[in-house]
Structure 1
């Protein structure tokens, strides 16, 4: 009886840890062609978020995203679903979008995503 309870407890613990590990896995970015990055919601190129690229690679439903219809959204600074922040004016992608105490962006530069998006 104790072995059965122990086995069920271990199975439940393993299932719970697998679920929480999946929840922490960041969304992956895809680069369908050179100079384009997409998450599951939007696509961007070196000019910023693009409705046309989003429709091409993610479909019309994704292209109807509110970000493209709002007039007060800066499409040249954006954060993908995995937390990667890109700034077209800086031509850099960073690990996050936050600022340090000095008023400068504090996120580490992501060489991988900067190269994929800007070719640099």
Structure 2
């Protein structure tokens, strides 16, 4: 019997090793990506993506220093100078926490759902939500007199409270936020400049808010406003499913 050449044997062994390596790679377990949000201590939530920690009062410099170091604390401190205290903050996993409501929410299909674990960890309890907070996409224009300040996308949010106060929140991409409150059919807006009476005009697919020298025109995406008997009901059609 004629012996195989030495180089042929080496080639066969190399091919077998490659096949074995391929099989091992195919069946090797895939490591799960770690959650960027952690709860390292009681009442503390830390976000690895932003190198920031939070407690029941919002952004926390001391906890950020403890878990991410002095450099992260200095960076955070510089970003907070001159800004009002945080009332709401967002985490990189999509969770949003409101320190006034003492509630954390997770987004799903455009609706905010109560995040029981995060709420319990941060605030020490699970608060009962007033109602599911529904968010819609839209397009807004904001003008002060003849000066156009924004013309583009926006989000519309409805918050109904058990005390009978309804809030309509319009968020612009530049972090401007307008909160319209409906109290006994009387509409007012609140922002950093104060609270002002508002007139509302229903234009079918579009609602127009006017106060002082400001005009905010909001159009809800893929849905319109129903004609109604008073301003309160008209605004409700802008923010609610029919």
TM-score, shorter chain, exceeding 0.5? yes
Number of the residue aligned with 1:58: 68
TM-score, with structure 1 as normaliser: 0.66
Unaligned runs of 5+ in 1: 101-105
Relative to structure 1, is the Cα distance of residues 11 and 93 closer, same or farther in structure 2, using a 3 angstrom cutoff?
A: same
RMSD of the alignment, in Å? 3.0
Find the aligned partners of 1:60 and 1:68 in 2 and give their Cα distance.
Answer: 12
Q: Which structure is larger by alpha-carbon Rg, 1 or 2?
A: 2
Residue 88 of structure 1, aligned match among 90, 95, 99: 99
Count of aligned pairs: 109
Q: SS at 2:97's partner residue?
A: strand
Number of the residue aligned with 2:44: 36
Number of the residue aligned with 2:148: none
Number of the residue aligned with 2:113: 108
| Deviation sequence 1:45-70 (CA, Å, 0-9, x none) | 11111223212333211212357515
Unaligned runs of 5+ in 2: 1-11, 126-242
Contact 1:47 1:88 (8 Å CA) reproduced = yes
Where is the strand percentage greater, Structure 1 or Structure 2?
2
| Deviation sequence 1:68-115 (CA, Å, 0-9, x none) | 51556873322234433212122111224x783xxxxx2321111101
Where is the helix percentage greater, Structure 1 or Structure 2?
1
Structure number with higher relative contact order (C-alpha < 8 Å, ≥ 6 residues apart): 1
